[in-house]
Amino acid sequence: MSAVPLMSVEDLSVEFRTRHGVVRALERVGFSIARGETVGIVGESGSGKSVTAFTVLGLLPPAGRVTSGRAVFGGLDLLTASAGQLLEYRGRELSMIFQSPRTALNPIRPVGKQIADVLERHANLPRARRRDRVLELLARVQIPDPERRYHAYPFELSGGMCQRVMIALAVACSPALLIADEPTTGLDVTTQAGILDLLGDLSRTAGMATIMITHDLAVVAERCDRIVVMHAGHVVEQAPARTLFARPRHPYTARLLASTPRAGAKLADLTPIPGAVPDLRGETTPCRYRTRCERAAAVCDRPPLPREVVAPGHVVACARPL
Amino acid sequence: MSALLDVRALTKRFPVRGSERRVHAVDDVSFTIERGESVGLVGESGCGKSTLVRLVTRLLDPSDGRIVFAGRDVGVIPPAQFTHAPERRLIQMVFQDPADSLNPRFTAFDTIAEPLRRLGTPAQRAALADHVAELADLVGLPRELLGRFPHQLSGGQQQRVGIARAIALRPRLLVLDEPTSALDVSVQATILHLLAELRDRLGMSYLFVSHDLNLVRLLTDRVLVMYLGKIVESGRSEEVFDRPAHPYTRALMSAVPAPDPAARRARIALVGEPRSPIDPPPTVCRFHGRCPDGVERCTREMPVLRPGPAADHLAACHFGFAVGAPAQGSGARRSGGEPAA
């Protein structure tokens, strides 16, 4: 990791008050991202990937509460920043694309206008030039015939096209960090490849850092520099992509890899992960993977959860790593 | 013995409102599914997969062609009457999103019991609770969860309920429409194992619809690749995946991400948008324009499915199989998608 990361999340804990008690959705989550770097956050549903993103952007729903930690971006702690400061950062420095582009876009406003709105709010651009800039952006995300699409409503565009519009909207002000939450879930494989290519291209040419949130290890394998694996609100392992795939050290990462289909594999090679993400209401064990883990032993019940640096940039939160 | 499902020159055209034009959703498609065989159907959204599935499950009327199921032409039975046809019980479906395809006001028990109540034999109806419990065991759903509503179940459990409902009447053909795309990878593996086990135990045939080629390969014997209403390639799964002959199949395969950073392969990027499915010119290859290999001939002559060197392997491309290769798919008894007579 470089000396001054673009953003560093430290010791982040978040809990939700629910009718059934307090859910400790995140517990001491930490990771950092350097300028221009692409980091993948991977885990099953309920692992806290999206909560992490929403917390960092100050979009946590009212039931959620940050109980500890910092998220430092350009010298500013996003978690204690005022609403006004966040408004200035979001959309300009920090941007996000959401899982279902069709629902994230305004259904009753032409897509070109929606991008122009972002420029009006954040970019110092005379009104007359805004439209040209929008057309430039639409062309940049490889939307054919931008002039015509400018006036299109989201329902007139395919899912892949809507996601391209969403990306144009997110990168309109050349943010330093883009958070993509399951950007290709629900899209065709060919469309998915195109969207991922586009994101990779944007981050390379503009030096934009990207956090890619997904449940599919295959999506991040080829595209990310580093990977953060989450399980039940914990970061269980983080490592450079190649290292993680070549030699996973946390039992959960190894299991996740074994359950991902790869080309040429047989059904017998595909092994499910036993058990389910544990209930996070009330007290939890130090290691939240313990009940699903085949390597669990008495040492796993001893708090606190260890965080061992096994190689440069490779951290494992396990008492008995592989 | 004849094939379980024999689809011949099936065509579905939808009228375009306010004009004489037609959307060619499924165009002259032929294929067979043998008893106990799993056939994969792959292609992008909009290629006609869903229309084909709705024709086969008799939710839509074909414009032309035949659907012969277990020796009887079910294509001529109107959808409204098909509910009373004996074949109705033998063709069942598992849907993509388990949360959306379960009635939120039905408990797991009611959902699984519904087909038995509606279409079951008197004996099945009399011993309903026993049958439902047995089905729950079969799909690995703990019996104590039978009283729960969909929102009280996890995604994997919901899909088990969906599968139990589909196999309740012991169908011969199970149509699986992206059965795992809404699930986590860890759960997906479990469901795939369950589907493979059920197929062997109950002797069902599968029509497995997906755009994830890695999954299709895991669960199918043969595969059909569809593009804009037409089958462009078909054959044994390992043959098609190891030696794809159609440029579209190759592009599709190269787009599947591999869970291995070292396996960075050359991607065949598809440029441009697919052609319009509204009254496409009959002499132009549907893939022309997006095809990396397209030449002038492709605009004059629509390629038809032709056999390659391996048995059963067919591709609809002028340049599909290497030049000089023996153009005989000899004795193709289980042919994948013969050109229509």
Residue-range domain boundaries for chain B: 5-220, 225-315
B190: nearest CB among A241, A242, A272: A272
* Closest A-chain CA to B258: A218
Secondary structure class of A25 (helix, strand, coil): strand
- Residues in CB range of A305: below 8 A, 6 or more apart: A28, A234, A286, A287, A317, A319
Tokens of B174: 């199970």
A78-94 residue pLDDT tens:
999 998 999 888 888 99
Residues from chain B that touch A259, judged by Cβ atoms under 8 A, are 185-186, 188-189
Interchain pair A221, B259: CB under 8 A: yes
Sign of torsion over alpha carbons A292, A297, A298, A299: negative
Whether pTM > 0.90 for this model: the answer is: no
pLDDT of A196 above 60: yes
pLDDT of A21 above 70: yes
Q: Provide the 8-state DSSP code for A32.
A: E
User: Are B117 and B144 a contacting pair, CB within 8 Å?
Assistant: no
Q: Which residues of A38-72 are buried (b: 16+ CB within 10 A; e: fewer)?
A: bbbbbbbebbbbbbbbbbbbbebeeebebeebbbb
Q: How far is CA B198 from CA A215, B113, B160, B284, in A?
A: 27, 19, 12, 43
- Residues in CB range of B332: below 8 A, 6 or more apart: B307, B311, B312, B338
Residues from chain A that touch B262, judged by Cβ atoms under 8 A, are 242, 245-246
List residues in chain A touching B: CB distance below 8 A. 44-45, 144, 158-159, 186, 188-194, 196-197, 215-219, 221-222, 241-242, 245-246, 255-257, 259-267, 270-273, 276
Interchain pair B261, A263: CB under 8 A: no
- pLDDT for position B261: 76
Residues from chain B that touch A215, judged by Cβ atoms under 8 A, are 184-185
Tokens of B225: 């690749």
- Summarize the confidence of residues A29-40 as an average pLDDT: 94
Secondary structure class of A251 (helix, strand, coil): helix
* Closest B-chain CA to A222: B261
* Closest A-chain CA to B181: A186
Interchain pair B218, A265: CB under 8 A: yes
Cα gap B126→B131, rounded to integer Å: 9
Residues from chain A that touch B45, judged by Cβ atoms under 8 A, are 158-159, 188
The complex's ipTM works out to 0.81
- pLDDT for position A91: 83
- Strand ranges in chain A using DSSP code E only, listed in sequence order: 7-18, 21-33, 38-42, 64-73, 76-77, 94-97, 177-181, 209-214, 226-231, 234-240, 308-311, 314-316
Which of B242, B290, B285, B216 lies closest to A194 in space, CA to CA?
A: B290
User: Are B8 and B75 a contacting pair, CB within 8 Å?
Assistant: no
Cα gap B236→B310, rounded to integer Å: 9
Kindly indicate the confidence band of residue A225, based on its pLDDT and cuts at 50, 70 and 90. Answer: very high
Cα gap A271→A261, rounded to integer Å: 9
- pLDDT for position B264: 60
Residues from chain A that touch B219, judged by Cβ atoms under 8 A, are 267
**What is the nearest CA distance from B311 to chain A, expressed in angstroms?**
20
Considering only residues 34 to 73 of chain B, which have any Cβ-Cβ distance to chain A shorter than 8 Å? 44-46
Report the CATH fold assignment for B5-220: Rossmann fold (3.40.50)
Cα gap B79→B71, rounded to integer Å: 18
A134-189 residue pLDDT tens:
999 998 888 888 999 999 999 988 888 898 899 999 999 889 999 999 888 878 88
Secondary structure class of B76 (helix, strand, coil): helix
- pLDDT for position B323: 46
CA dihedral A73, A74, A78, A81 (to 10 degrees): 180
A258-286 residue pLDDT tens:
998 887 778 888 888 888 888 888 788 89
- Summarize the confidence of residues A295-302 as an average pLDDT: 90
**What is the nearest CA distance from B167 to chain A, expressed in angstroms?**
21
Say whether residue B258 is in contact with chain A using an 8 A CB cutoff.
Answer: yes
A188: nearest CB among B44, B190, B258: B44
Q: Taking each helix axis from N to C terminus, what angle separates B155-167 and B185-202, rounded to the nearest 10 degrees? A: 20
Secondary structure class of B265 (helix, strand, coil): coil
Q: Which of A11-15, A232-236, B43-47, B197-201 has the lowest mean pLDDT?
A: B43-47
Cα gap B149→B159, rounded to integer Å: 13
Interchain pair A245, B218: CB under 8 A: no
Interchain pair A45, B212: CB under 8 A: no
* Sole residue written with tokens 């290709």: A184
Residue-averaged pLDDT of chain A:
90
Cα gap B170→B203, rounded to integer Å: 9
Mutate one of B185, B190, B216 to test the A interface: name it (highest A CB count within 10 A).
B185
pLDDT under 50: residue ranges of chain B = 323-341
- pLDDT for position A3: 64
Sign of torsion over alpha carbons B264, B267, B273, B277: negative
- Strand ranges in A74-165 using DSSP code E only, listed in sequence order: 76-77, 94-97
A98-110 residue pLDDT tens:
888 888 999 999 9
- Summarize the confidence of residues A16-20 as an average pLDDT: 89
Cα gap B94→B199, rounded to integer Å: 13
User: Are B315 and B232 a contacting pair, CB within 8 Å?
Assistant: yes
B240-252 residue pLDDT tens:
998 999 999 999 8
- Residues in CB range of B196: below 8 A, 6 or more apart: A267, B219
Which of B216, B221, B296 lies closest to B249 in space, CA to CA?
A: B216
